[in-house]
């Protein structure tokens, strides 16, 4: 089948992506490259196009122009389990409250008809443990879990689909600080264990810096700056970046 | 369905339906059995001799009947496959007889079969059709939804009874009771699908927008999977409540149509065509027991009413949670 | 204004659709008015055919529809083969009788249901349970049974005439005497019909009131100390009226059909018995006319409710 060997830096490749909603442009010829195993923090004020970019990457929106490819394969031609998994802010709502934890986690596999019911159940149990929940919780319905636990279920479900790219759209926002720390630590472990490629979308620059290796700043539908975290924080180039940096520093008083 | 009251009511209703189903056991006579000597006999007076029930011989007395106290006929239980019977040549007319001397009580039980079955089957039909169209329209939206809304509007521009009559009008009039039964079920069910369809459409429409349905879509789930796994559970409460509302309506529809002579005909009894005999008030006066089929409907309607109320309370409570 | 015109156009379209459907449905009817004659061996088939041709029953469906629709628009609904007279005057006299009966009953039912429903909505404890039981009792007694029982009572006690709209010798009376005669005949059927309508209406009124009474704006009005009577009339009723007006439109719309059973049982000479007889006789012209008339009533009833709501409820206007 001879696929061209893709350079590691082009694991995620976005070229000139444009999308407008009823005349109002949300993405203006956005280009992005993400290497395998890297974590990218995507920051920017609301309305800058972060979520739109995420939804295009996940296949929920069709871009008006431009291409997206993952591991060399154009997104449009991917079949079977979707290669990009998106976790929403309200992860709890994205879980059917009547489903058991096992059913939730195994759902992507069930839909793609991977393996047998028994193998899927086992995989679900394994993922449950991986995200730090007890295996016995497999049979509990989703509404028996707390908010933070449901976030973990959503992550487990996304991982069960073995995605090439994991996107968290404001998933850590709006949680209390302890929960945020726990989930960030979990993400770190998973990245190390599975070599995940992650995009974390947030409006909180400090959080992005804490969790990500690279940071991209979006403003009005364009990526205005893209650099490793440390570099961006110490020497921000774009006025928007400087603005956000100033705002977060004034709140925290010091770098994280 | 955790409330005990629901189960009690459902059990009572079930018992009534069971009695109708086993009319051959509970009825003392067959539905076509005529006692030419006893037209318009009044309901029997049961007397007790110690612990054993009996009836006196019934003798015609001008236009009425009187009991002949010199002759007694004991009642038997569970003899010849019938729960209650009387020693020949005695007669036991628990609710009197009609113009042909047929036992009204037996015919009410046999008639219950027809009327209740018509209601249940017609309800099943209209719920099935309504569920199907409602789910398709609610899930896929677009032109299928438009089609459903416009189409159902046409059905709703005629008052329900007139719609039933109009449809019945243009179908063969002189048909066998069996054909008439199924025709009636088809008409009542086929005409009444609109309201359940609209309700289910609404439920499916809102369920479709839930985040976890969108998430499952994101995993590549097709419509069949989404409907089966995520949306179907929402339609059960509505369907169940609708059933408890529709069944009594449809029972009454059968009764009405048969009463008007457009439903099940002789000799098969239905509560409707039995009441038709009492249509002329000169028959009705003095023979009030001919109204028994109408009274028999009351406990059934009560049961469904209580069930419907309890279920709608449950649904409200669930929605709050 | 545009809203009004649009709704009217919508209604007209609906009516046309129903007429097409109903007329088309007659094509399904096996046999026609003369079918029974055909089976009769003493009548030569040629004579039956001639009769059919005379009645225009042999022409293609589309032609028949066009002819029917054309004359219907002029108020001419064809010829009744069973009654041997034009349909329109036949219907007109029956229509009056039905409207009198159903109109009286509907008015009575609504006049009773609104205060009863409001009262019911404000009750708690044993009074509420009693009200609920009373409504339930009325609800579960089939209208057919109620009509027959009351007819029986009327005949046995002699308090009310045993059916019909007029007494045989009423034509000889002067005008006030005739009115009194009709009213005497009207009492029982209208009473039966009203009792049949009452429980469902009371429930609806109560439901509408209950929903409104628990609404946040009602609670805050109460907290502000607004006296109950003023609260009811100025604050609660206007909001609760919304679903009730729609329901009233439906009541208006079903004026023709609601009384069918009562008319048949009690011998009231309205559209009900006419329709049933026409069905039995396969008198297509009459059935068509009655069906179309009832559709028109329903459409107009709903239209009236819609327009009334549009005028009264500012929320609808804003949403447009």
The answer to whether B192 and B246 are in contact (CB under 8 A) is yes
Bridge partners (DSSP) of residue A74 are A69
Listed as own residue / partner, the contacts of B148-152 with beta carbons closer than 8 Å and 24 or more positions apart are B148/B197, B148/B198, B148/B201, B152/B194, B152/B197, B152/B198
Q: Where are the domains of chain A?
A: 1-83+163-256, 95-162
Name the token pair of A17. Answer: 């992506």
Single out the residue in C70, C87, C104 at which a domain terminates.
Answer: C87
Grade residue B293 by pLDDT with cuts at 50, 70 and 90: very high
Among C294, C102, C131, residue whose Cα is nearest residue C196: C102
Q: What is the pLDDT of residue A1?
A: 44
Residues 6+ apart with CB under 8 A from B152: B194, B197, B198
Contacts of B211 in chain A (CB under 8 A): 88, 90, 93-94
- Between A116 and C214, whose confidence is greater? A116
Residues 6+ apart with CB under 8 A from A131: A152, A153, A155, A156, A159, A186, A190
Q: What is the pLDDT of residue C153?
A: 86
The H or E element that residue C276 is part of is helix C271-281
Count how many domains chain C has: 2
Q: Which residue has the tokens 């205060």?
A: C115
Name the token pair of B74. Answer: 């004991």
Highest mean pLDDT among B168-177, C52-61, C190-199, C292-301: C190-199
The pLDDT mean for chain C works out to 83
Q: What is the pLDDT of residue A2?
A: 45
Among B154, B153, B149, B243, residue whose Cα is nearest residue B205: B149
Grade residue A193 by pLDDT with cuts at 50, 70 and 90: confident
Q: Where are the domains of chain B?
A: 107-320
Residue B5 touches partner C, C-beta closer than 8 Å: no
Instruction: Tell me the ipTM for this assembly.
Output: 0.87
Which tens digit of pLDDT belongs to each residue from B147-162?
888 888 888 888 888 8
Among C291, C203, C290, residue whose Cα is nearest residue C247: C203
What number of C-beta contacts closer than 8 Å exist between B and C?
Answer: 115
* B202: pLDDT strictly greater than 70: yes
Q: What is the pTM of this model?
A: 0.84
What number of C-beta contacts closer than 8 Å exist between A and B?
Answer: 41
Q: B with C: 3 or more CB pairs under 8 Å?
A: yes
Nearest to B219 among A88, A96, A108 (CB): A108
Q: What is the pLDDT of residue C34?
A: 66
The answer to whether residues C142 and C232 belong to one domain is yes
The strand pair at B47-49 and B52-61 is best described as antiparallel
Q: B with A: 3 or more CB pairs under 8 Å?
A: yes
In this complex, do B230 and A96 lie within 8 Å of one another by their Cβ atoms? yes
Strand order in the sheet with B82-86: B47-49, B52-61, B64-79, B82-86
Q: What is the pLDDT of residue C28?
A: 66
In this complex, do C144 and B165 lie within 8 Å of one another by their Cβ atoms? no
The domain in which residue C80 lies consists of 2-87
CATH homologous superfamily for the domain B107-320: MetI-like (1.10.3720.10)
Fold of the A1-83+163-256 domain: Rossmann fold (3.40.50)
Which tens digit of pLDDT belongs to each residue from B36-49?
888 898 898 888 88
Q: How far is B211 from chain A (nearest CA, A)?
A: 5
Residue B214 touches partner A, C-beta closer than 8 Å: yes
CATH at residue C224: 1.10.3720.10
Grade residue C62 by pLDDT with cuts at 50, 70 and 90: confident
Q: How far is B213 from chain A (nearest CA, A)?
A: 8
The pLDDT mean for chain A works out to 84
Nearest to C30 among B156, B172, B278 (CB): B172
Q: How far is C127 from chain B (nearest CA, A)?
A: 18
In this complex, do B219 and A161 lie within 8 Å of one another by their Cβ atoms? yes
* B88: pLDDT strictly greater than 60: yes
* B309: pLDDT strictly greater than 70: yes
Sign of CA dihedral C280, C286, C289, C294: negative
Single out the residue in C39, C68, C87 at which a domain terminates.
Answer: C87
Range 227-286 of B in CB contact (< 8 A) with C: 252, 255-256, 259-262, 275, 278-279, 281, 284-285
Which tens digit of pLDDT belongs to each residue from C135-189?
999 999 999 999 999 888 888 888 888 778 877 777 777 888 888 888 888 999 9
The answer to whether residues C103 and C81 belong to one domain is no
Which residue of chain A is at minimal alpha-carbon distance from B226? A111
Averaged pLDDT for residues A37-54: 88
Name the token pair of B193. Answer: 């699908």
> What are the distances in angstroms from CA B122 to CA A168, B35, B189, B262?
51, 34, 4, 16
The answer to whether residues C69 and C152 belong to one domain is no
Nearest to A88 among B211, B230, B233 (CB): B211
SS3 B269: coil
Q: What is the pLDDT of residue C35?
A: 67
The answer to whether residues C160 and C231 belong to one domain is yes
Which residue of chain A is at minimal alpha-carbon distance from B223? A111
Which tens digit of pLDDT belongs to each residue from A1-39?
445 556 677 888 888 888 888 888 888 888 988 888 889
Residue A16 touches partner B, C-beta closer than 8 Å: no
Which partners does chain B have (≥3 C-beta pairs < 8 Å)? Answer: A, C
Averaged pLDDT for residues C222-251: 81
Which tens digit of pLDDT belongs to each residue from B20-72?
999 888 998 988 889 888 889 889 888 888 888 888 888 888 878 888 888 88
């Amino acid at each position: 089948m001879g696929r061209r060997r893709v350079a590691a830096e082009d694991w995620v490749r976005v070229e000139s992506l444009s999308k407008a909603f009823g005349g109002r442009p949300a993405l203006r010829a956005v280009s992005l490259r993400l290497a395998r195993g890297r974590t990218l923090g995507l920051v920017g004020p609301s309305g800058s196009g972060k979520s739109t970019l995420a939804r295009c990457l996940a296949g929920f929106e069709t871009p008006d122009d431009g291409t997206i490819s993952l591991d060399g394969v154009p997104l449009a031609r991917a079949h079977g389990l979707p290669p990009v998994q998106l976790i929403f802010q309200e992860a709890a709502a994205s879980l059917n409250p009547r489903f058991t934890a096992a059913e939730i986690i195994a759902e992507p596999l069930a839909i793609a008809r991977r393996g047998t019911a028994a193998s899927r159940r086992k995989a679900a149990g394994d993922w449950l443990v991986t995200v730090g929940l007890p295996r016995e919780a497999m049979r509990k319905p989703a509404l028996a879990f707390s908010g933070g636990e449901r976030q973990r279920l959503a992550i487990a479900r996304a991982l069960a689909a073995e995605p090439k790219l994991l996107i968290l759209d404001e998933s850590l926002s709006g949680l209390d600080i302890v929960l945020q720390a726990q989930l960030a630590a979990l993400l770190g472990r998973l990245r190390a264990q599975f070599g995940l490629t992650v995009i974390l979308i947030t409006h909180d620059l400090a959080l992005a810096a804490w969790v990500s290796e690279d940071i991209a700043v979006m403003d009005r539908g364009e990526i205005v700056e893209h650099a490793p975290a440390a570099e961006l924080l110490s020497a921000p180039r774009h006025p928007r970046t400087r603005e956000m940096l100033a705002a977060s520093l004034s709140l925290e008083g010091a770098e994280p | 369905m955790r409330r005990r009251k629901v189960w009690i009511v459902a059990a009572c209703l079930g018992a009534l339906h069971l009695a109708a189903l086993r009319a051959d056991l509970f009825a003392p006579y067959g539905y076509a059995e005529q006692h030419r000597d006893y037209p318009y006999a009044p309901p029997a007076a049961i007397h007790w001799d110690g612990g054993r029930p009996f009836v006196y011989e019934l003798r015609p007395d001008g236009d009425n009947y009187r009991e002949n106290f010199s002759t007694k006929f004991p009642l038997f239980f569970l003899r010849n496959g019938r729960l209650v019977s009387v020693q020949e040549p005695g007669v036991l007319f628990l609710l009197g007889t009609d113009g042909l001397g047929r036992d009204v009580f037996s015919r009410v039980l046999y008639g219950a079969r027809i009327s209740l079955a018509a209601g249940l089957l017609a309800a099943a039909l209209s719920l099935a059709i309504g569920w199907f169209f409602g789910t398709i329209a609610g899930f896929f939206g677009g032109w299928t939804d438009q089609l459903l809304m416009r189409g159902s509007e046409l059905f709703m521009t005629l008052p329900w009874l007139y719609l039933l009559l109009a449809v019945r009008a243009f179908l063969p009039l002189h048909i066998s009771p069996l054909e008439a039964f199924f025709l009636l079920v088809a008409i009542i069910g086929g005409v009444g699908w609109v309201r359940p369809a609209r309700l289910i459409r609404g439920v499916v429409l809102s369920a479709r927008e839930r985040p976890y349905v969108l998430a499952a879509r994101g995993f590549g789930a097709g419509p069949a999977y989404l409907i089966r796994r995520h949306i179907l559970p929402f339609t059960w409460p509505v369907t169940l409540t609708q059933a408890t509302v529709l069944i009594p309506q449809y029972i009454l529809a059968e009764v009405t149509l048969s009463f008007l002579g457009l439903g099940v005909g002789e000799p098969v009894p239905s509560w409707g065509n039995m009441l038709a005999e009492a249509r002329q008030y000169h028959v009705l006066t003095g023979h009030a027991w001919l109204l028994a089929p109408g009274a028999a409907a009351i406990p059934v309607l009560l049961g469904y009413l209580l069930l419907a109320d309890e279920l709608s309370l449950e649904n409200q409570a669930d929605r709050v949670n | 204004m545009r809203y009004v015109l649009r709704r009217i156009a919508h209604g007209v379209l609906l009516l046309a659709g129903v007429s097409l459907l109903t007329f088309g449905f007659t094509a399904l009817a096996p046999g026609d008015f003369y079918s029974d004659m055909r089976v009769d061996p003493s009548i030569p088939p040629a004579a039956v055919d001639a009769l059919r041709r005379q009645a225009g029953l042999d022409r293609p469906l589309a032609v028949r529809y066009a002819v029917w629709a054309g004359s219907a628009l002029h108020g001419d609904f064809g010829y009744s083969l069973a009654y041997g007279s034009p349909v329109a005057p036949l219907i007109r006299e029956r229509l009056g009788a039905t409207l009198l009966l159903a109109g009286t009953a509907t008015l009575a039912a609504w006049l009773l249901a609104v205060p009863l429903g409001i009262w019911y909505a404000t009750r708690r404890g044993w009074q509420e349970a009693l009200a609920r039981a009373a409504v339930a009792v009325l609800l579960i007694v089939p209208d057919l049974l109620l009509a027959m029982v009351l007819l029986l009572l009327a005949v046995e006690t002699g308090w009310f005439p045993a059916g019909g709209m007029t007494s045989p010798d009423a034509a000889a009376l002067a005008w006030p005497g005739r009115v009194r005669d009709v009213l005497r005949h009207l009492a029982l059927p209208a009473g039966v019909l009203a009792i049949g309508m009452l429980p469902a209406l009371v429930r609806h009124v109560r439901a509408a009131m209950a929903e409104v009474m628990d609404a946040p704006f009602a609670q805050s009005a109460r907290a502000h100390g607004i006296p109950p009577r003023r609260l009811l009339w100025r604050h609660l009723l206007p909001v609760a009226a919304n679903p009730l007006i729609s329901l009233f439109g439906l009541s208006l719309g079903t004026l023709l059909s609601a009384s069918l059973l009562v008319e048949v049982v009690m011998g009231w000479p309205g559209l009900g018995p006419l329709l049933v007889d026409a069905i039995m006789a396969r008198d297509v012209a009459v059935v068509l006319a009655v069906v179309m008339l009832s559709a028109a009533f329903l459409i107009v009833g709903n239209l009236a409710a819609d327009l009334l709501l549009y005028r009264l409820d500012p929320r609808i206007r804003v949403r447009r």
